[in-house]
């Protein structure tokens, strides 16, 4: 079970958000993202502001169908999943593990490309928020046991002030037809595009487990 620290409880978070001037609608979304993530990690809190900002730049409502790219697998994808409804399961979320705290969102496009907005944490702007700055830099000066509440207060006070944005163009990947084939190695069926030579990717480059023999 996840241990909930006093500063991570909904009531304390709400008080911190009220002090930071966070709107009531965004407060609820932040709480939803935190619950989905299982706890209010600083990254998902910042991520909520990023998604909210990107939606405004696109001029869309929370119900609008969107496609997202996330440049880190840490924390940030959950804000996209909860607030923009971009998930790996609905094929509208792509995680590119390049280590940048940034997202890109776009509306559906019938063409080969789509105009999008990219929102990212601006390290120059972080300098105005010293606690967020040392946390973001993974500095030993940040003590998570004693500074977590201060970090939350500063994140909510900063809001969008630590973010920058740019207009970008992304490639739209269209759905392609495929057919099912049986892997000659494991005997299980997979889409044809996941065959590598004489075996499926699960038996090849993406193999991640070894079968345990059944005794007796």
The tens digit of pLDDT for each residue in 99-126 reads: 999 999 999 999 999 999 999 999 999 9
Kindly report the three-state secondary structure assignment for every residue of 29-49. HHHHHHHHHCCCCHHHHHHHH
Residues in the chain with pLDDT < 70? 1-4, 216
Q: Which residue from 136, 149, 151, 150 is spatially nearest to 99, judged by alpha carbons?
A: 136
pLDDT at 3: 64
pLDDT at 173: 83
pLDDT at 104: 98
- Give the torsion through C-alpha atoms of 133, 137, 142, 148, to 10 deg: 60
Query: What's the fold here for domain 6-171?
Result: 60s Ribosomal Protein L30; Chain: A; (3.30.1330)
Radius of gyration of the chain (CA): 21
Cβ(70)–Cβ(77) under 8 Å? yes
Domain ranges across the chain: 6-171, 177-216
Cβ(117)–Cβ(58) under 8 Å? yes
Q: What's the predicted TM-score (pTM) here?
A: 0.91
Distance CA 53, CA 159 (A): 10
pLDDT at 216: 52
pLDDT at 215: 77
């Amino acid at each position: 079970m996840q241990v909930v620290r006093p500063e991570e409880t909904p009531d304390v978070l709400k008080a911190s958000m009220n002090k930071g001037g966070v709107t009531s609608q965004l407060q609820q979304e932040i709480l939803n993202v935190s619950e989905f993530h299982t706890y209010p990690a600083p990254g998902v809190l910042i991520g909520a502001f990023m998604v909210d900002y990107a939606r405004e730049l696109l001029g869309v409502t929370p119900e609008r169908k969107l496609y997202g790219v996330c440049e880190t697998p840490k924390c940030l994808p959950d804000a996209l999943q909860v607030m923009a409804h971009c998930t790996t399961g609905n094929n509208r979320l792509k995680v590119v593990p390049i280590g940048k705290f940034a997202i890109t969102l776009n509306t559906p496009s019938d063409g080969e490309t789509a105009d999008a907005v990219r929102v990212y944490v601006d390290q120059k702007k972080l300098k105005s928020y010293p606690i967020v700055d040392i946390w973001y830099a993974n500095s030993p000066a940040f003590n998570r046991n004693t500074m977590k509440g201060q970090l939350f207060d500063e994140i909510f006070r900063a809001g969008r002030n630590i973010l920058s944005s740019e207009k970008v163009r992304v490639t739209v990947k269209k759905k392609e037809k495929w057919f099912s084939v049986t892997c000659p190695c494991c005997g299980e069926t997979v889409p044809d595009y996941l065959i590598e030579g004489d075996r499926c990717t699960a038996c090849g480059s993406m193999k991640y487990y070894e079968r345990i023999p059944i005794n007796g």
